[in-house]
A and B are shown apart, each in its own frame.
Chain A
Amino acid sequence: MGASFFFGAAKVIMTAIDILDLEKKYTTGFWKKKPKQALSPLRMQVEQGEIFGFLGPNGAGKTTTLKLLMGLIFPTSGTARILGMELSDPKMKAQIGFLPEQPYFYDYLTARELLHYYGRLSGMDAKGLSNKITTMLDRVGLGDAAGVQLRKFSKGMLQRAGIAQAILHDPKVVFLDEPMSGLDPMGRREVRDLIEQLKHEGKTVFFSTHILADAEALCDRVAVLHKGELRGVGAIADLTSSVHGRVELVWQGTTIPDALRALSTECRLAGETVRAIVPEENQDTALEIIRRERMRLVSVTPVRASLEDYFVARLKSDAASAGVQS
């Protein structure tokens, strides 16, 4: 169970999402049923008030996890608690918001009618709902399209309507499945800003994405999922520190010695300056070559590993261990 602490009479729940060995297997095939592991037992926690990124390539199990948490599919084993409550608890569902991947809504409704419907389903009082809807539509940039049927909306506008329905009822935990997909750069920026606003309002945001730049820009912590298995979870700085470091060497010269080219992962000549990225363990050898060739060293700068480096490193190590096994 999630970490719940008691301070006198007041109960302070620190864990927003507590996933306890949640597992999902499907059976495929008509006659000969074959089990397919969509999600291996997953155990992790998301703290209240954090932006948590759920990363993985397509088919990693991100949407399966979200569907399990939303009660849309049932786990083969394990359980989870959100805000300390069971997944089937309607009280818990009144406190969460969910944006599915590539959302599709009732296209015969206008944006205002859609939000009214979802607001009422979430238990919002009819009184004052109209004003809240107007504010929300303005917030997501759909103020001018309030009376337009959703069948006339572009993909980006649908995504905005989806975000509006997910946060209209002021939920404590917001689940967003690929919230930036299908958006233009401006739209992505706006969604990023909105997610940050939600954090400032004290909400917990759990969002899945395969766009690592978005996660790197927003998340306090991330989890990496691959082939239904959790490969890593933690703060981005902690995860990337586990990736072997690299250094950027800059020197003056018009040629790149073959020995240096062999050591570098990246090597570029621009005018009379050469930039090379070498793995940390090759730094001394590379500097020795520069000295030997009597070239003038300009700088040596450590290169911070990005989330992408970590991600690629994890996937490569998986592929390597799979190769060894086979």
Chain B
Amino acid sequence: MNGRIFQIASNTFREAVRDRVLYNLIAFALLMSGAAVLVGQISIDIERLVVINLGLTAISLFGTVIAIFVGIGLVSKEIDKRTLYTVLSRPVQRWEFIVGKFLGLAGTLTVNTFFMAIGVFASLLYVSHRLHRADGWVLAALYFIILQFLITTALALLFSSFSSPLMSAVFAFSLFVIGSFAEDLRGFAAMTGGLTKWLATGAAYLVPNFSALNVISSVAHQQPVSGHLILYNTAYAVVYSAMVLCGGILIFQHRNLK
């Protein structure tokens, strides 16, 4: 990695840690230990299902909230506080700044997810007394959740490169919600005709397809994740994030800093 990008990414990670973003881990640990104790007492044979569903959904939601609310401030905060002035007056290209910021937050979310994943597996061990072979698919679901964070972070950065934090949050959160129902949108497009079909199909392929990245329910039911899906989702997330980042860079490249 380019040295300047690495420095910007490290600084972004350090900012998140020192601004106590990772404190969400405490809330997550409390949630998982409470859930593990509770389901151990009230449910019969579905402890594993409940822990995986609850754990992975919580990881996804906690991470998405961080990706959106930290992501929208990555550029705008630096402009508002004018810290960007002393960065861009150095031999740092604007695209390097955006990529560094993206990688820094993506790294933060990956570390966050890693610690939460330990919590999920610890809870699984607590309720099932041992780990099953099928629990390995939880790793695939976690990987897809990280891919989802990459796309969300890129979107938050894109909006942050031209819009106010409030509007960026609204745009990013709206896209997250719509993207979570992308498969339904595609189904709706297939059922309609004429102009509506074209518009619905266009929208369905434009919004991020978060539903394809959500395999939480199937891994909770011990269904395997195919290698083809892993490959497809990886390529999709990388290409989608890269395109969104390029959009953000293009806008930021020509922006006058107030």
A74→B88 CA distance, assembly (Å): 13
B7:A120 contact, CB within 8 angstroms: yes
- What residues on A are CB-neighbors of B3 within 8 Å? 120, 123
Would you call A96 and B89 a contact (CB within 8 A)? Answer: yes
Instruction: Determine the chain A residues whose CB is within 8 A of the CB of B184 once the complex forms.
Output: none
A73/B90 contact (C-beta < 8 A), A98-B85, A106-B15, A108-B14 known = no
Q: Across the two chains, which residue of chain B brings its CB closest to A100?
A: B85
Say yes or no: A121 contacts B81, CB within 8 Å: no
In the complex, which residue of chain A has the Cβ closest to the Cβ of B94? A71
Q: Complex formed: what's the CA distance from A96 to B83 in Å?
A: 17
B82 within 8 A of A: yes
* B43 lies within 8 A of chain A by Cβ: no
| Contact residue among B14, B15, B88, B93 (Cβ-Cβ distance under 8 Å from A70) | B88
Q: Report chain B residues within 8 Å CB of A74.
A: 254, 256
The docked-state distance in angstroms from the alpha carbon of A122 to that of B85 is: 13
Number of chain A interface residues as a range: 20 to 34
Q: How far is the CA of A142 from the CA of B120 in the complex (A)?
A: 47
A94-B91 contact given A104-B81, A117-B7, CB 8 Å threshold = yes
Q: Is the CB of A94 within 8 A of B82?
A: no
Once bound together, how far apart are the Cα atoms of A113 and B18, in whole Å? Answer: 13
As a 0/1 sequence over residues 81 to 120 of chain A, the CB contacts with chain B under 8 angstroms (1 = contact) are 0000000001101101011100111101100010001101
- The answer to whether A94 touches B90 (Cβ under 8 A) is yes
Cα A105 to Cα B87 with chains together (Å): 10
CB contacts under 8 Å to A, within B122-178, are: none
Our pick among B82, B86, B89 for the contact of A71 (Cβ within 8 Å) is: B89
Task: Render B1-14 as a binary contact track against A, CB cut-off 8 A, 1 for contact.
Answer: 00110011001001
Decide if A261 is an interface residue (CB 8 Å cutoff): no
Q: A96-B89, A121-B87 in contact; A108/B18 too (CB < 8 A)? A: yes
Task: Out of A73, A104, A108, A120, name the residue touching B15 (CB < 8 Å).
Answer: A108
Given the known interface contacts A118-B86, A121-B87, A122-B90, the answer about A106 and B257 at a Cβ–Cβ threshold of 8 Å is no
Closest residue of chain A to B3 (Cβ to Cβ) is: A120
Is the CB–CB distance between A118 and B90 below 8 Å?
A: yes
Asked if A314 is at the interface of the complex by the 8 Å CB criterion, the answer is no
B residues contacting the other copy or chain, number (CB 8 A):
25
Residues in A neighbouring B88, C-beta threshold 8 A: 70-72
Q: CB-nearest residue of chain A relative to B84?
A: A72
Q: Are A100 and B86 in contact (CB under 8 A)?
A: yes
**Interfacial residues of chain B within 76-118, with CB under 8 A of chain A in the complex:** 81-93
What's the dominant secondary structure at chain B's contact region? helix
A71 to B87, CA, bound (A): 11
- Minimum C-beta distance from B84 to chain A (A): 8
Quick check: B91 and A90 within 8 Å, CB to CB? yes
Partner of A73, one of B92, B93, B257: B257
B45 interfacial by beta-carbon distance below 8 Å? no
What are the residues of chain B within 8 A of A90 when measuring CB–CB?
A: 91-93
Q: Tell yes or no: A165 within 8 A of B by CB.
A: yes
The answer for the CA separation of A72 and B90 in the assembled complex, in Å, is 11
Interface of chain A residues 53 through 91 with chain B (CB within 8 A)? 67, 70-74, 90-91
Contact B86 A105 (CB under 8 A): yes
Q: Which residues of A contact B82 (CB under 8 A)?
A: 100, 103-104
Docked CA distance A121–B86 (Å): 10
Please tell me if the beta carbons of A105 and B83 are within 8 angstroms of each other in the complex: yes
Partner of B19, one of A71, A72, A108, A123: A108
- Give min CB distance, B78 to chain A, whole Å: 9
Residue of B nearest to A177 (CB): B85
* Interchain CB contact under 8 A, A121 and B90: yes
Closest-by-CB residue of A relative to B97 is A121
The CA of A96 and the CA of B14, in the complex, are separated in Å by 27
B85 engages A70 (CB within 8 Å): yes
* Interchain CA distance A90-B3 in the complex, whole Å: 14
Please give me the residue from chain A that is nearest to B18 by CB atom. A108
Which of A72, A104, A122 meets B91, CB within 8 Å?
A122
Chain A residue contacts of B4, Cβ below 8 A = 120-121
User: Other than the known A108-B14, A122-B90, A123-B3, what 19 A-B pairs have Cβ atoms closer than 8 Å?
Assistant: A73-B257, A74-B254, A90-B91, A91-B91, A93-B92, A96-B89, A98-B85, A98-B86, A98-B89, A103-B82, A105-B86, A106-B11, A106-B83, A108-B15, A117-B7, A121-B4, A121-B7, A121-B92, A123-B91
29 contacts between A and B (CB under 8 A): A67-B85, A71-B88, A72-B88, A72-B89, A74-B254, A74-B256, A90-B91, A90-B93, A93-B89, A94-B91, A96-B89, A99-B86, A100-B82, A100-B85, A100-B86, A105-B83, A108-B19, A109-B11, A113-B14, A117-B7, A117-B11, A118-B86, A120-B4, A121-B7, A121-B90, A122-B91, A123-B3, A123-B91, A175-B89
Q: Which A residues form the contact surface with B (CB < 8 A)?
A: 67, 70-74, 90-91, 93-94, 96, 98-100, 103-106, 108-109, 113, 117-118, 120-123, 162, 165-166, 175
